[in-house]
Amino acid sequence: MSATDEKNGQLLGHQIISDYLRLLDGSPGVYRMLDPEHNVLYVGKARNLKKRVSSYARPNGHSARILKMISETSQMMFLTTQTETEALLLEQNLIKQLKPRYNVLLRDDKSFPNILITTEHAFPRVVKHRGAKRQGGMYFGPFASSGAVNRTLQQLQKAFLLRDCSDSDFATRTRPCLQYQIKRCAGPCVGKISEAGYGELVKDAEQFLHGKDSSMQKQLATQMQEAAEAMEFERAAALRDRIRAMTEVQTVQGINPKTVKEADIIGMHMEGGQICVQVFFIRAHQNWGNQDFYPRISADTSPSEALSAFIGQFYDNREPPRQLILSHDIDERALMSEALSSKAAFNVEILVPQRGEKSDLVAGAVRNARESLGRKMSETAAQARLLKGIAKAFSIKSPPQRIEVYDNSHIQGAHAVGAMIVAGPEGYMKNQYRKFNIKGDDITPGDDFGMMKEVLSRRFKRLLKEDPDRQNGLWPDLLLIDGGAGQVSAVHEIMQEYGVTDIDMIGVAKGVDRDHGKEEFYRHAQRPFALQRNDPVLFFIQRLRDEAHRFAIGTHRAKRSKTTLKNPLDEIPGIGASRKKALLTHFGSAKAVRGAHLADLKSVEGISEKVAQTVYDFFHEGR
């Protein structure tokens, strides 16, 4: 677009926006700006819609980003709300759904794991939990990562000997499991501890997770001393191990603030048009890990706007803590506090400390954000060089922005899966990874060509349905296929079938002696070729291929494990946990149930004649 065209577009945009003013009043609400193709450019909220929209109608006083947005605006949409707080909550929800081009966007929206102590069983279990909190029990979290929660769980099992087995495993146990043998479970399944004694362990674990660890350690130390004086050395050793495990948890957690009981410490660093936000989770005076985020911003985005947008989107589907401790102040801090408090049903305080322990915590978060962003920018620059190298090595018009790598995994055709990984200018795009269960009944077991055809057919069919105009960034610029001429030919056939002729595709195969480093590259209707062994582009493609292989193998193993561990009794209609337990207790295994006579099934306590007939028919139908 020339400067004249852009200027004309701005004038037209100002006029279009001005025309809406007569339809608006001073109500609070949310507005959307749309381009001629009805794509949402921007979502904003206003205390007074008419006043806010009139600011866009003025030709002066806007940043370059806002002027460009105005020039692209062809229509607007409005939704009024009762209060400004409602408008703020609705704005953040719409931003996450619509992902407008001119808004600050939080790109990483994964959930965080919690620790769950169940309450629906006489002997509660302690497990990692991710997702909606529908199961009855006490939740502690969030933890920053699976690694952080797994480490804490390990130490909790050492310190409090709580079980992590499923209720069905618990019900069918006849002798202690390995967890009991290595002193990570009290063995309630086989009566090694009473219900009251186990309840005390659960209570201790709850106190520890609530931050009352120092008083507990003193109590345990006193009990250990008393046991030693009474020459109960085995009990004293067990208490010593529990104290040691609790100390290890505190050591791993590192900083454990004294004046902050429950808060998220949010530090931000901006540089070169990029941003890193570092969040530390403090619960019960304990550091439960930290995570970094890289929202999408424009070069003229202010720190206040960036941090405010991050907070609104980050807590859109998460419960906030009682305090947010920030490195930078945000506009309308009181409004954000009110909005978060209304969602959480308790008061959420937003602080920007200037001195003391809270200020030190924020400084640490900012330091982490600065270092993380430095690493990210360095990695991004290196990634850009590699993408340029790929374009040059394979004669591609421009560096690919989205590379999709495909691989299959199976054992002699069994449990076959396809896997797709995605990489771009910022590295692996793990939220874009996809797995495909191979469904084709006409595919011969072990037919890699047929599997690859099915995977790519399903992929292109979905792309043509979801993004036919290629506007949403879902289409790849380059396909990397793990395989040689056969796989390339199979994929080319599918691409021709779906009319996809403008996407580059390369097959990656090991050389004749299958030596890592002598990969050969295949393109349709061209001779295979190789790169120099020390070429960085070769190493990059090897890493992509290995990542696809890792993801495919992991997916295959998970599918195989699920199938292997599946109990056939779970598939019988009318067989719930109690009847399953009765059958397994009586016969010892699902295999024995399968081979049992009808009369034997009828003799099981709790199994009626009708249920026995159902079980028998399930295993013998068609014989």
Spatial distance between the Cα atoms of 35 and 14, rounded to a whole number of angstroms? 13
Chunked in runs of 10, what are the mean pLDDT values of the chain (623 residues)? 56 85 91 91 94 89 87 93 92 90 82 89 91 86 84 82 88 88 90 92 86 67 79 76 67 65 94 92 86 89 93 90 95 93 92 93 93 88 93 93 90 77 91 86 71 90 88 89 89 92 90 67 90 90 92 82 66 80 81 85 88 85 52
Q: State residue 456's pLDDT score.
A: 92
The answer to pTM > 0.75 is: no
Expressed in angstroms, the distance from the first to the final Cα of the chain is 74
Report the distance separating Cα 615 and Cα 573, nearest Å. Answer: 9
How is domain 568-620 classified at the architecture level of CATH?
Answer: Orthogonal Bundle (1.10)
Alpha-carbon separation of residue 155 from 172, 176, 184, 209, 218 (angstroms): 26, 20, 9, 12, 18
Provide CB contacts within 8 A for 590, sequence distance 6+: 567, 568, 569, 584
| pLDDT score, position 450 | 85
How big is the CA angle at 429 (ends 560 and 436), to the nearest 5 degrees?
30
Considering the segment(s) 3-98 as one domain, its CATH architecture is 3-Layer(aba) Sandwich (3.40)
Question: Do residues 569 and 575 make contact, with C-beta atoms less than 8 angstroms apart?
Answer: yes
SS3 404: strand
Q: How far apart are CA 259 and CA 324, in angstroms?
A: 14
pLDDT of residue 595: 84
Q: Do 262-374 and 403-563 show the same overall fold?
A: yes
* Furthest C-alpha separation in the chain: 93
Helix or strand or coil: residue 405? strand
The phi, psi pair for 145, rounded to 5°, reads -155, 165
The residue extents of the domains of the chain are 3-98, 114-253, 262-374, 403-563, 568-620
pLDDT for position 401: 94
pLDDT for 117: 93
Q: Please give the pLDDT value at position 623.
A: 46
Q: What is the DSSP letter of 192?
A: S
Distance CA 57, CA 307 (A): 27
**Helices (H), ranges, 394-498:** 448-466, 485-497
Superfamily of structural domain 403-563: UvrC, RNAse H endonuclease domain (3.30.420.340)
Q: How far is CA 512 from the centre of its chain?
A: 40
Q: Which residue has the tokens 């454990």?
A: 256
CATH class of 262-374: alpha beta
